[in-house]
Amino acid sequence: MTVPQGTETLDVIVVGDVMVDVLAAMNGPLNRGSDTPSTVTTAGGGSAANVASWLAGQGVPTSYVGRVGDDVLGRESIARLTRQGVAVWVTVDPERPTGTCVVLVEPEGERSMLPDAGANATMLPADVPPTVFRPGAHLHLSGYTLLNEGSREAGLTALSLAAAADMTVSVDPSSAALLTAAGAARFLEWTRGADLLLANEDEAAVLTGTPDPHQAAAQLGDTYREVVVKLGADGALWQQGFISASAPAERGVIVVDTTGAGDAFAAGFLASWLLHPEPESALAAGNRLAALAVAHVGARPS
């Protein structure tokens, strides 16, 4: 059953994963086999849902398309996104639970994730509503949807619907580890022709086989119209053909938790790029939102 909770005149459609994050902010290094005192909280997560919430927080009309379980966590996920201003189109899975991710946050802010995709892994082409794909709108697709075999056809359907509606498209590869497992060549073929790739440094290296982000961005230009490589504390770079640009990360930021920083960057970049496609301004906007994300615990706007 699809549950529409918005209009059909939205500017950005975000397709992909929604999770409930269980964040353990550790007070020190992980003591394997013993206790590590931590502050544990729960928060909304999932790369696609995070991007949608950050976009809505900037006043961008945004729709989220995904799948949750028939459980309390799923209902709360829908309610949380709705409160954040996102129009939600989800399918409820009668068997699988809502996706959950345990996030271990080190004192310096670095995080390691232990995801259980849950209902995200059963997203079907029928879960992607054609009515929200229209000329003039933009599709942002979370790579997790393609990298998970169970939801891959749903991701490909979203790309096909966007192409048929002559929409612009951005793709986030999402996970270097899952890219390696699925095969870089397959991912490149699935997403070939997208207007924008938003990759971090590790993902760009997996997709191209080169650790140099500038070389990787240039190489990825054979597959995508524009390429952004997120460099963490070093900011981000943009490439289109032989033209490149870069922007430094925000300075003076106290890093609390890097969970969702890339998603916040994507939302900041898109909000600027879709209105005024000037790479320097869009990179700076992405870096500003990423700085807000790392300054607090959790992957969504505070």
**What confidence tens digit (pLDDT) does each residue in 34-75 have?**
999 999 989 899 999 999 999 999 999 999 999 999 999 999
The token pair at 84 is 């954040």
- Residue 256 has a pLDDT of 84
Q: Domain tally for the chain? A: 1
Letter string b/e over residues 15-32, b meaning 16 or more CB atoms within 10 A of that residue's CB: bbbbbbbbbbbbeeeeee
Tokens 């950005």 identify what position? 12
Q: Are 3 and 90 in contact (CB under 8 A)?
A: yes
| Residue 110: band (very low, low, confident or very high) from pLDDT cuts 50, 70, 90 | confident
Report the phi/psi class of residue 16: left, alpha or beta, with left for phi > 0 and alpha for psi in -120 to 50.
left
Q: Are 18 and 77 in contact (CB under 8 A)?
A: yes
Q: Quick one: average pLDDT of 280-288?
A: 97
Q: What range does the domain containing 22 cover?
A: 2-294
The yes-or-no verdict on residue 103 having pLDDT over 90 is no
Q: Are 289 and 248 in contact (CB under 8 A)?
A: no
The yes-or-no verdict on residue 92 having pLDDT over 80 is yes
- Residue 293 has a pLDDT of 93
Q: Are 63 and 132 in contact (CB under 8 A)?
A: yes
The yes-or-no verdict on residue 212 having pLDDT over 50 is yes
Q: Pick from 158, 242, 151, 228: which is nearest to 195 by CA? A: 228
Residue 188 domain-assigned?
Answer: yes
Tokens 């998970």 identify what position? 148
Q: Count CB neighbours of 295 within 10 A.
A: 16
Residue 301 domain-assigned?
Answer: no
Sign of CA dihedral 118, 120, 122, 126: positive
CA 198 → CA 38, 236, 237, distances in Å? 32, 10, 10
Q: Quick one: average pLDDT of 15-34?
A: 93
pTM: 0.92
Residue 299 domain-assigned?
Answer: no
The yes-or-no verdict on residue 122 having pLDDT over 50 is yes
The yes-or-no verdict on residue 6 having pLDDT over 70 is no
Query: How many residues would you count in the chain?
Result: 302
- Pick 2 or 194 by higher pLDDT: 194
Find the range with the poorest average confidence among 113-117, 155-159, 179-183: 113-117
Residue 280 domain-assigned?
Answer: yes
Residue 162 domain-assigned?
Answer: yes
Q: Quick one: average pLDDT of 78-86?
A: 95
Q: Within its chain, how far is the Cα of 196 from the centroid?
A: 13
Q: Write out pLDDT tens, residues 229-272.
A: 999 999 999 999 999 999 999 998 998 878 889 999 999 999 99
The yes-or-no verdict on residue 88 having pLDDT over 60 is yes
The yes-or-no verdict on residue 279 having pLDDT over 90 is yes
Q: Which CATH number fits the domain that encloses residue 11?
A: 3.40.1190.20
**Radius of gyration of the CA atoms of the chain, in A:** 18
